[in-house]
Structure formats: C-alpha cells, structure tokens
Structure 1
Amino acid sequence: MGMGYEILYIIKSAVAEEKRTAINDKVKSIIESGKGEILLHKEIGLKELASEFSKETQGYYVQVQYTANNKILDELGNFFHITEDVLRHLNVTLESIQTNVSEDAVADTAPSRPRRHG
C-alpha cells in the first residue's frame, strides 16, 4: 500500500452528467491501474465557487481519498492538466488513513497541515 492522499477536483457546472461520470471513472481507473486503492469517493455536488474562475461561478465538487505511489500522482496531475472540463484540483497527503469508518466521518476529518501535490 502506498501513501494516503485526498484529491478534491471541481468540474465545470455546464458539463453533462455522462461526461462527469466519464471523468470520475477515469480518475478511478488511473488510481486502480497503478495498484492504488480508493478509500472514499464522494460526489459533493454543485456548489458556488468562492470567486469567479474562468468565467465560472459554480462547479461540481468531487472528493476522493486513496492510496497511491508517485507514478499515480503524476498520472493524475497530467490528466487534470489536459482535461478542460476540470476547473481546479488539489491533491494533499493524508496524515493518517482511516479504514472501516462511515463516509460522513471521513468527510468531516480534515488532514492537519496538508502538503500540496500537483
């Protein structure tokens, strides 16, 4: 098992559900193809952006907690940089990996002093 990470990415609000599903499936595929494990995949949904970005005022937020190696991190970074439908992404290291807890409990637990990747 690699290190634990959490990524939050924001998909443009105008993107159709089928395309959002394809983006989410690709993220899962990248993680699993590199022998990573998805611990949590949560579609938070449509939210207002804190400030306008690329003429967008809303975005569809997705949170994923996973284990991975550096190769997976690089592949995810490359994928998000070439995917025009993703406004922003932030990947942080989890200080500890919690297993066998409810999704709500994990979502409420924020890592302390995260390190940025990507």
Structure 2
Amino acid sequence: MLRKYEALLLLSPELASDSRKDIVEGVVAIIEREGGKLEEVDDWGSRQLAYPVQNQSRGYYVRVVFNAPAPLVAELERNIRITDGIFKFVTVKLEDKALVQEEA
C-alpha cells in the first residue's frame, strides 16, 4: 500500500546549482528505484534560517512529495544522512483526507 509522504531537504547554500540538482535527482532516483511514485519537487530557494544550524545562517530548501511503501522511507532517510550537502531534513506522512463529522 502506497502512502503519501513529504520530505523537506535543507541543503548547504554554498553548493553550486549543478550540485544541488544532482542531489535532488539522487533523491528522486532512490524513490523511483524503491517502488515509489514522485508527485512533486518544489524548489523553495535560499532562505534565512531562524537559528544557525551547523554554523550556517542560510539554507537552500527543496520539498519533495511522493507516494511510497513504508520501508522506502527508511532507505531514503539512510541515503540522505550519508549525502554530503544535505545538513538537515524531515520526512512526514501526509494525512489522508480527513473525514469531518458534522454535529447535528
């Protein structure tokens, strides 16, 4: 069963455009290789961080939305951890459309 996930990657702002593109393509390749389906890659660009992270005050944000089986997330996060250039990330399962019951 495929579930919908969102991964937010925070890349080093010092990376060249080609390096950022290669990292994102690598993440997409892992998703597709492991049986997931890519929905969207959203490039948010360079932004000021709320607080310094690993001595960085800016970061380059990329959001990836995909459908995948649960084991794929563990493999994706393992690969993200060992990828140079990504210094922070978060992966969340997106809620299915919630059914709201109306009170009578």
Same fold (TM over 0.5): yes
Per the normalisation by structure 2, the TM-score is 0.87
Identity of aligned residues (%): 29
Q: Trace 1:35-54 onto structure 2 (pairs within 5 A).
A: 35-54=35-54
Q: Which has the larger radius of gyration?
A: 2
Task: Return the TM-score normalized by structure 1.
Answer: 0.78
Q: Could you tell me which amino acid in structure 1 is paired with residue 45 of structure 2?
A: G
**CA deviation profile, 1:54-89 (whole Å, cap 9, x unmatched):** 110101100011111123211211111111311110
Q: Which runs of 5+ in 1 are unaligned?
A: 98-111, 113-118
Cα distance in structure 2, aligned partners of 1:43 and 1:33: 22
Q: Deviation at 1:8?
A: 0.4
CA RMSD of aligned residues (A): 1.5
> Which portions of structure 1, spanning 4 or more consecutive aligned residues, are displaced by more than 6 angstroms?
none
The number of residue pairs the alignment matches comes to: 98
Question: Which structure would you say has the larger RCO, counting Cα contacts within 8 Å and 6 or more residues apart?
Answer: 2
CA–CA separation in structure 2 for the residues paired with 1:54 and 1:70: 30
- Report the residue type matching 2:28 in the other structure: K
